[in-house]
Amino acid sequence: MEKEIKRREDRVRRQLAKQGLALQKSRVSTLSADDQGGYRIVDTQLNRIEAGERFDMTLEEVEAFAQN
């Protein structure tokens, strides 16, 4: 299961990189209002958060974002 998630993360990282974006995964061990323990997408050129400001995206949501 862990390998499948890693494989999906790697695939979506490559897709986002082609669009000038980067995937960031939360490292927090305790959830808070500002960090929901998920993912966010950052524009690497502008250093701006594009989606998931509070690390509140699921991997499925990230994959859908990368497809658009």
| pLDDT mean over 29-35 | 82
**Cβ partners under 8 Å of residue 48, min gap 6:** 42
- Number of compact structural domains in the chain: 1
Query: Is it the case that residue 1 has pLDDT exceeding 80?
Result: no
**Cβ partners under 8 Å of residue 25, min gap 6:** 9, 38, 39, 55
Q: How confident is the model at residue 12 (pLDDT cuts 50, 70, 90)?
A: very high
| DSSP H or E run through 5 | helix 2-18
Question: Which residue segment(s) compose the domain that 38 sits in?
Answer: 2-67
For 8-21, give one letter per residue: b (16+ CB within 10 A) or e: ebeebbebbeeeeb
Q: How confident is the model at residue 31 (pLDDT cuts 50, 70, 90)?
A: confident
User: What's the pTM?
Assistant: 0.89
